[in-house]
Amino acid sequence: MKRQTSPRGCNQGGNVMNRKLTMILAGIFVSVFSMVTISEAQAMKNGGLNAKQEKTVTIAAFTANGDLQKLKTALNEGLDAGLTINEIKEILVQMYAYCGFPRSLNGINTFIGVLEEREQKGIKDELGKEPSPMPANKSSIEFGAEIQTRLIGAPATGKYIAFAPAIDQFLKGHLFGDIFGRDNLDFQSREIATISALANMEGVNPQLQSHFNAGFNVGLTEAQTRSLISVLEAKVGMKQADNAYEILGKVLSNRAKKEQADIIKIRLEVGDKVLTATLIDSATTRDFISLLPLTLTSKDHAGTEKISDLPKRLSTENAPSGSDPSVGDITYYAPWGNLAIFYRDFGYSSGLVILGRIDNGIEAFNVPGSLKVTIGLIK
Question: In which band, very low, low, confident or very high, does the pLDDT at 25 lie, cut at 50, 70 and 90?
Answer: very low
Q: Using one digit for the tens of pLDDT, what is the confidence trace for 162-220? A: 999 999 999 999 999 999 999 999 999 999 999 999 999 999 999 999 999 999 999 99
How would you classify residue 128: left for phi > 0, otherwise alpha for psi between -120 and 50, otherwise beta? left
**154 band by pLDDT with thresholds 50, 70 and 90:** confident
**Looking at residue 315, what is its pLDDT?**
95
**pLDDT digits 0-9 by tens, 224-257:** 999 999 999 999 999 999 999 999 999 999 988 8
Q: Would you list the domain boundaries of the chain?
A: 51-125+185-258, 264-378
The whole-angstrom separation of Cα 94 and Cα 108 is: 11
pLDDT (0 to 100) of residue 19: 52
Q: What is the mean pLDDT of residues 367-372?
A: 95
Fill in the amino acid letter for 285.
Answer: T
pTM of the full structure: 0.65
Over pLDDT 90: what percentage of the chain? 80
CATH 3.30.2350.10 fits domain 264-378: no
Q: Would you say residue 41 has pLDDT above 70? A: no
Measure the CA–CA gap between 11 and 16, rounded to whole angstroms. Answer: 9
Q: What fold, for 51-125+185-258?
A: AhpD-like (1.20.1290)
The length of the chain is 379
DSSP for 95-157 reads HHHHH-HHHHHHHHHHHHHHHHHHHHTT------PPPPPPPTTS-HHHHHHHHHHHHHSS---
**Secondary structure tally for the chain: helices H, strands E:** 13, 10
So what's the pLDDT on residue 33? Answer: 41
